[in-house]
Amino acid sequence: MGKPVGELFLLGKATGTHGLRGDLKIRPLADNSDSLLGAKQVYLRSSGGEPQRFIPARVTLHKGNYLLRLQGLEEIGAVQPLVGCEVLMEYSDLADLPADEFYWFQLEGMAVADRVHGDLGTIEEVFTTAAHDIWVVRGPRGEVLIPAVDQFITEVNRETRQVTVDLPEGLIPDHDL
């Protein structure tokens, strides 16, 4: 889902408006995120600005994006200046996930070790593809892109912040260490 920003979680970006009733079109950072659907409050931040708090009047899914209507701004002219803003939520407002699922910000910074090759480095970022999330791990073997799929991930330990993987040949760069 997005990166932490202070006490706020970056969820997506307002990319345009939709209709005449002031719906903002929100592009989420993570395709499988549904946190915005249950949001009781959101924050919008323009480039270099301070986050401003808003109460959602309505949130719906629409063609892979969200349509967000804000209380008190329920006509297109009122929300047009918000296009381009980042959309953020408080950590405490994020839905609890099952034990085997994680938000992106929870994974970033975790150490990664391969069953055969040992230390690969730390998860620096996560991004989404059409098929699955990709973990970008940087360390002694350079950059390793790990598909976040069950067959490669053997353990994620939240307490030790350690991930153990079992990667097939070809995913780890052949550097002489």
Expressed as residue numbers, the domain containing 34 is 4-93
> How much is the pTM?
0.65
Check whether residue 152 and residue 121 sit in a common domain.
Answer: yes
Distance, CA of 67 to CA of 86 (rounded, Å): 14
Please indicate, yes or no, if residue 83 is contained in any of the structural domains. yes
Last residue of a domain, one of 93, 124, 139: 93
Q: For the segment 30-40, what is each residue's pLDDT rounded down to a tens digit?
A: 665 677 888 88
What is the number of domains present in the chain? 2
Check whether residue 64 and residue 9 sit in a common domain.
Answer: yes
With tokens 């209380």, the residue in question is 71
Distance, CA of 115 to CA of 166 (rounded, Å): 5
Please indicate, yes or no, if residue 147 is contained in any of the structural domains. yes
Check whether residue 11 and residue 81 sit in a common domain.
Answer: yes
The domain that holds 154 is classified in CATH as 2.30.30.240
Distance, CA of 45 to CA of 119 (rounded, Å): 38
pLDDT of residue 2 exceeding 70, the answer is no
Between 1-5, 76-80, 91-95, 98-102, the lowest mean confidence (pLDDT) is in 1-5
Q: For the segment 90-135, what is each residue's pLDDT rounded down to a tens digit?
A: 887 777 777 777 877 788 899 999 999 999 999 998 887 878 888 9
Q: For the segment 50-65, what is each residue's pLDDT rounded down to a tens digit?
A: 999 999 999 998 888 8
Please indicate, yes or no, if residue 173 is contained in any of the structural domains. no
Check whether residue 150 and residue 114 sit in a common domain.
Answer: yes
